[in-house]
Structure 1
Amino acid sequence: MKFGTSGLRGLSVDLKGRASALYATAFGRYLLGSGMARPGDAILIGRDFRDSSPEITANCADALAALGFNVRNCGTVPTPALALAGLREKAACLMVTGSHIPADRNGIKFYRPDGEIDKADEAAITAAATELDRAGFAFEPRSTTPQDRSAECLAAFRERNASILPSGSLAGLKVGVYQHSTVARDLLVDLLQHFGAAVVTFGRSEAFIPVDTEAVSEETILKLREMASQHGLDAVVSADGDGDRPLVADETGAPLRGDLLGLIAASFLGVTAVVTPVTSNSGIETAGRFRVIRTRVGSPFVISGMQEALAAGENRVAGFEANGGVLTASDFEINGHRLQALPTRDCFVPILATLALAASRRQPLSAIASSHHLAFAAADRLENFPVETSARLMAHLRADPANLAAFLQPVGEVASISDLDGLRVRLKSGRIIHLRPSGNAPEMRCYVEAEDEAAAVALLHAGLERILWWANAN
């Protein structure tokens, strides 16, 4: 088990057993020991649609009930819906989800009563789990039956989103919803119809389908393009498995980058400061009228950056990641309603903000994207790439500037380097290539920017090929 950029991750077969109960117990003990919770307090649990999630959820419920918590089941709801319920009830939460990673893996996201855990919390939970393990932690299923709070949890989140646009704002738009296996699938349809859009649903699946909104697969893009053409759609929307990362494609079925969706959402909210990781487009700084704060990759770092912005006197603060998930640290007044701060990733605000912009401008999404004048960017990953190999590669590249220069020689000369999270290299041509091991899966990621789409795609392929070449040679 390992904490990554957002939550604990591991093999589903392991989490279906003792491991999930071990970490749930460690989390519960940490809450009790730190004074953040007391025996008898409520704790909320939600899950995604993975085959392994019900069993992992049951293990966590049993472990927390054994510690004296009042466990409440929120069912299959989007992660931001669970987080909102936790904040309103001042209750800790666990979301059983592997987000976008393959079905043979799963994970758990942890929330304190005041919001998402941070890196210090992760370290404390890990230490508690290690101590329990060394003490011979034994787990026996108890068949706990938590109180069902799924309807209330979903209704509160729907109410939040149903008021952020004026009535009929999306009238005239024909939007496809790629439902696959995301827990956001039904609420997306409901809200789009609520705002007046004509909706075409497709791709609903009972088997789990991993959808990575930061590196959309060619297979998924083909589906989006086919449906956009077949039904004359103005847009296609979807989300990852737990509904905290948006996917929006234009009228041709081409996905818009997540950082563009985040930028549109930031403008929609009227932020004074936005926090985003180093992997987001380098043009963000000049694309909006707000202060930009860069962080390492992962929601804990974005949340920390947002807290620092608030402490520095900013009063309209939000963040977004390159995957498009938007986090809010301030309350915002939107459409005459208060949008409560929700400092965890959310797919609904960026989706609705982007569609509303297209509807108000009466422009296709492709034109909306072009109007922001961001550098052409692309990203992809090598899956099932051993963590040990990633670590050796990054150590080699950092050991000597000559190593990095030799590695990148086929793609360009190094002009400058950022080592904030992975290696982000600006080449003398002005192009950018960023190499970064995933924080929560055996994957090696590559992000690029270039002067046009063809150059970005070529640089991305060249970067991935160099990674594979080095791995095979070493």
Structure 2
Amino acid sequence: MNSFGSSGIRGVALQELAPADTLDIAQAAGGVFRERNGRVAVGRDSRETGEMMVNAAASGLASVGCHIDCLGVVPTPSLQAYCERRGVPGVMITASHNPPQFNGIKLIGDDGVELTRETLDRVEAYLAEEPELTTWDRTGDVRTVESANQDYQTQLLDAVDRERIADADLTVALDPGHGAGSLTSPKLFGELGCTVKTINAQPDGRFPGRDPEPVADNLTDLGQLVRATDADLGIAHDGDADRAIFFDETGSFVEGDAALAALTAAQIESGETVVSAVNASQRLVDVTSEQDASLELTPIGSTYLITAIRQLQTDGESVSIAGEGNGGIIYPGYRIARDGAYTAARLCELVAETPLSELVESYDGYANVRHNISYDDDSEREAMIAAIEDTAENAGADVDTTDGYRLDYGDAWVLARPSGTEPVVRVYAEARTQKRANTLADEMVDAIES
């Protein structure tokens, strides 16, 4: 079983993450949660093993005296909205963008925000000890809550410019990827006044239409739907709908980094700080510089972004947007949480005035490459890291070790780091030409695989 990574715990269900593991984690989380609140919300995405894992989590929480609100199949942002609204912590059973055989656990605070690294360390400490079980007459009760998704949609609709979007009479092509967003996003964009065309919009934990990760290779059908319906934009979610990836009105895939840059340019003001991860595109660097704003880089993963946002706010800094190029964007004024539907609605506000292709045109001219290299055990992982370090030392580039090794060549960069959620080493590269990006990525991959 994996410990908490950059975005919770994930693993192949019944192999790397068994119901017994989920029960243990829920008991440990309950040990922290019961200090402030005796009730915990539990939700899941559409995966086949979700209900089994929810039952294990509920048993673990009840055994340490926590009462449970079972929300059913909900996007992670829906559970977070419920936690914030009710003032209760939460357990989300989801493997986000991972393949169908995976499942995982995210822990949410009573403010609707993922737990900070410090609080996760406290859960880890409880996990290392024998659980403090309650007595038979003090076990927690379980109640079913059916209104979470509707309440989430209502709250989200009130947080965006509905009139501006409705007046534009947009047609939206939507691909929730058979995930939890299938239950919310089609209705939400309809209520925003959009004509909604859908694909893969039925919850199905086997994900028959496409892999849950919203990357270009998995979304060819959405591009075709945009073109066939003459849609103004295409929107794709991952399994728990906390991310959004886009296609423009021509049916062309929009790089996540370009969408983040466009949304950032429309949001930030001079003197503010933008938070992103160490794989941030030069596009974002350029936007923050042009707006006389600062860019704070963190390790990759929502946990690190959230921790940085909170610290910056405590220090008196203004952070109006944060995020990564994978479609996970945070608007702290709305909630310090990634929300794919809210991000897409904010983009609709912009598309109501300007076609998406024009919005991102300024952020073209960059080529990106990403590779995943699997490993089988810790010794192989350590050998790969040693190869990355050796490559970095001899590269003749500026090296950033915030998370893995980022080699900056001035005109291009390459980053290699172990994933926080999967047994893979990820390699990213960006350059002004595809050839240059491919060369940098291939050289790093060759060094790791050798």
1: distance between equivalents of 2:90 and 2:102? 20
TM-score, length-normalised on structure 2?
0.87
1:397 aligns with 2:375: no
Quick one: which of 425, 431, 434 aligns to 1:444?
425
Structure 1 contact 46–94 (Cα < 8 Å) conserved: yes
Give 3-state SS (helix, strand or coil) of 1:108's partner: strand
Structure 1 contact 264–350 (Cα < 8 Å) conserved: no
Equivalence for 1:99:
96
1: distance between equivalents of 2:427 and 2:98? 17
Residues 447 and 400 of structure 1: CA distance in aligned 2, closer, same or farther (over 3 Å) = closer
Equivalence for 1:321:
324
1:369 aligns with 2:360: yes
- CA offsets per residue over residues 345-380 of structure 1, 9 Å max, x none? 11122211222212212x2x2222112x36514243
Residues 62 and 128 of structure 1: CA distance in aligned 2, closer, same or farther (over 3 Å) = same
1:12 aligns with 2:13: yes
2: distance between equivalents of 1:276 and 1:75? 32
Cα drift, residue 317 of structure 1 = 3.2
Equivalence for 1:277:
277
1:147 aligns with 2:146: no
1:421 aligns with 2:403: yes
Structure 1 contact 16–55 (Cα < 8 Å) conserved: no
Within 5 Å, give how 1:19-418 maps onto structure 2.
19-32=21-34, 35-37=35-37, 41-114=38-111, 115-132=113-130, 146-151=142-147, 153-163=148-158, 164-167=160-163, 169-170=165-166, 171-205=168-202, 206-209=204-207, 210-213=211-214, 216-218=215-217, 220-270=218-268, 272-288=272-288, 289=291, 290-329=293-332, 331=333, 341-361=334-354, 363=355, 365-371=356-362, 373=363, 376-382=366-372, 384-386=374-376, 388=378, 389-399=380-390, 404-405=394-395, 414-418=396-400
Give 3-state SS (helix, strand or coil) of 1:113's partner: coil
Give 3-state SS (helix, strand or coil) of 2:368's partner: strand
Cα drift, residue 268 of structure 1 = 4.4
2: distance between equivalents of 1:76 and 1:465? 43
Q: Which 10-residue stretch deviates more, 229-238 or 87-96? A: 229-238
Structure 1 contact 262–324 (Cα < 8 Å) conserved: yes
TM-score, length-normalised on structure 1?
0.83
Structure 1 contact 382–464 (Cα < 8 Å) conserved: no
Equivalence for 1:458:
438
Residues 251 and 458 of structure 1: CA distance in aligned 2, closer, same or farther (over 3 Å) = farther
**RMSD over equivalenced CA pairs, Å:** 2.7
Give 3-state SS (helix, strand or coil) of 1:91's partner: coil
Give 3-state SS (helix, strand or coil) of 2:416's partner: strand
Cα drift, residue 442 of structure 1 = 1.4
1: distance between equivalents of 2:190 and 2:237? 17
Q: Which runs of 5 or more residues in structure 1 are unaligned? A: 138-142, 332-340, 406-413
2: distance between equivalents of 1:154 and 1:298? 25
Cα drift, residue 172 of structure 1 = 3.3
2: distance between equivalents of 1:397 and 1:380? 15
Structure 1 contact 281–374 (Cα < 8 Å) conserved: no
Cα drift, residue 282 of structure 1 = 2.1
- CA offsets per residue over residues 34-63 of structure 1, 9 Å max, x none? x333xxx21100100110110000110111
1: distance between equivalents of 2:213 and 2:75? 16
1: distance between equivalents of 2:305 and 2:366? 24
Q: Which runs of 5 or more residues in structure 2 are unaligned? A: 134-138
Structure 2 contact 63–140 (Cα < 8 Å) conserved: no
1: distance between equivalents of 2:442 and 2:142? 47
Report the AA paired with residue 229 of structure 2.
Answer: H
Equivalence for 2:136:
none
Cα drift, residue 423 of structure 1 = 1.2
Cα drift, residue 84 of structure 1 = 1.7
1: distance between equivalents of 2:46 and 2:283? 36
2: distance between equivalents of 1:401 and 1:381? 18
Structure 1 contact 244–347 (Cα < 8 Å) conserved: yes
- CA offsets per residue over residues 175-200 of structure 1, 9 Å max, x none? 21113212112322122222222211
Residues 231 and 465 of structure 1: CA distance in aligned 2, closer, same or farther (over 3 Å) = farther
Cα drift, residue 252 of structure 1 = 3.6
Structure 2 contact 67–141 (Cα < 8 Å) conserved: no
Structure 1 contact 257–324 (Cα < 8 Å) conserved: no
Give 3-state SS (helix, strand or coil) of 2:317's partner: coil
Report the AA paired with residue 71 of structure 2.
Answer: C
Give 3-state SS (helix, strand or coil) of 1:13's partner: coil
Quick one: which of 415, 425, 444 aligns to 1:434?
415
Equivalence for 1:334:
none
Q: Which 10-residue stretch deviates more, 96-105 or 438-447? A: 438-447
